[in-house]
């Protein structure tokens, strides 16, 4: 394979970079999510091509977690190998710990033992000395928050993370975590990663305002609602799609006739904007400057390049937003899994 040479024009304005809350760190408006499509026994040419294309398009942020794959850990190994092709000081590498990773009582949640052991394992898998961002992947109701925040502080003090954040914390626990860090002189929280999309707006009920007040950046995961906010489902559930799988992250009652009608109406409006449905969904998430970045996975280089275009068309008129709200009000969705409802 020939040596990869990054596009010298990658910083020509094709990708906007947004300030992460009150911090000096800037993130690309589109972040490359490596949850799906980067597992396996070894990096593939396709995986390498997607990472290279993302960097050439101005995407400098690559998001992972300890158990991404499958199998667990393989995404970190594969992406870590590919990222050695890129200049380390020009990229942001993220990992997280919180979900199931290894057997026994110390293999998940938010204890100091688990978080710091997982951090060391992730660094070894990715063959890097530090993460730019390291997250507590979920709130642990059985571990004191000062223990979890103390573990994140240790990661920073040991030089294993430059910034730390939290993911999927509700407003109450977000405020408490921030207060613990401030009151005890711990490494401050820089960012929150919640699930946010046109079809899952729970962060608008307090969390977005709170992060703005506290100076935390926000990076939205699942902005395409596991693919439902794409053209893939306009004619129903295609064979081989996520919704057709037995263990699909899309719940069956989310892909119903009423919601498919809503998707088609959204698609019609996207066409009026000169965008695909996926592009409009990403632009909509990025319409609010409190959202630092939209975290998007991809299964092809083409998808990555199409997603990047959304970052340059994030303005919506008041009439447009009102129209979209009317369309979205017709959606028939179960309560959000993320909102603590």
Q: What are phi and psi of 51, to 5 degrees?
A: -65, -45
Q: What is the pLDDT of residues 241-289, one digit of tens each?
A: 655 566 666 666 788 889 999 999 999 999 999 999 999 999 999 999 9
For the chain, which domains are there?
17-232+281-312 (3.20.20.100)
DSSP-assigned beta bridge partners for residue 218: 192, 291
Q: What is the pLDDT of residues 190-205, one digit of tens each?
A: 999 999 999 999 999 9
> At residue 228, does pLDDT exceed 50?
yes
Task: Determine whether 184 is exposed, middle or buried from the number of CB atoms within 10 Å of its CB (0-12, 13-18, 19+).
Answer: exposed
Structure tokens at 60: 């400098």
Confidence band of 236 (pLDDT split at 50, 70, 90): confident
3-state secondary structure at position 169 = coil
CB neighbour burial string for 323-339, b if at least 16 within 10 angstroms, e if fewer: ebeebbeebebeeeebb
At 341 the pLDDT is 42
Report the 10 Å Cβ neighbour count for 108. 21
> At residue 238, does pLDDT exceed 90?
no
DSSP-assigned beta bridge partners for residue 189: 164
Cis peptide before 71, with omega less than 30 degrees from 0? yes
């Amino acid at each position: 394979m020939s040596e990869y040479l990054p596009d010298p024009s990658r910083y020509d304005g094709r990708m906007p970079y947004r300030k992460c809350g009150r911090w000096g760190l800037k993130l690309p408006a589109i972040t490359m999510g490596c949850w799906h499509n980067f597992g396996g026994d070894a990096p593939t040419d396709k995986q390498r091509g997607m990472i290279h294309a993302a960097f050439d398009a101005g995407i400098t942020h690559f998001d992972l977690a300890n158990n991404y794959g499958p199998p667990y850990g393989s995404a970190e190994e594969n992406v870590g190998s590919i990222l050695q092709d890129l200049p380390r000081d020009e990229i942001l590498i993220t990992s997280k710990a919180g979900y199931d990773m290894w057997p026994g009582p110390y293999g998940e949640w938010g204890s100091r033992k688990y978080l710091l052991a997982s951090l060391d394992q992730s660094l070894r898998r990715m063959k890097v000395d530090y993460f730019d961002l390291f997250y507590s992947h979920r709130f642990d109701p059985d571990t004191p928050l000062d223990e979890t925040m103390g573990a994140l502080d240790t990661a920073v003090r040991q030089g294993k993370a430059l910034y730390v954040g939290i993911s999927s914390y509700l407003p109450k626990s977000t405020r408490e975590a921030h207060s613990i860090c401030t009151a005890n002189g711990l490494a401050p929280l820089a960012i929150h990663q919640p699930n946010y999309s046109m079809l899952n707006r729970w962060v608008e009920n307090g969390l977005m305002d709170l992060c703005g007040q506290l100076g935390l950046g926000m990076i939205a995961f699942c902005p395409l609602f596991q693919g439902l906010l794409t053209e893939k489902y306009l004619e129903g559930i295609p064979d081989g799609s996520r919704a057709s799988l037995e263990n699909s992250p899309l719940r069956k009652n989310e892909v119903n006739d009423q919601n498919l009608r809503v998707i088609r109406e959204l698609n019609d409006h996207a066409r009026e904007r000169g965008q695909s449905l996926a592009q409009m969904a990403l632009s909509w998430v990025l319409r609010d400057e409190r959202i630092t970045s939209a975290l998007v996975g991809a299964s092809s280089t083409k998808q990555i390049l199409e997603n990047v275009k959304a970052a340059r068309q994030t303005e919506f008129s008041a009439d447009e937003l009102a129209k979209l709200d009317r369309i979205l009000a017709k959606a028939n969705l179960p309560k959000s899994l993320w909102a603590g409802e």
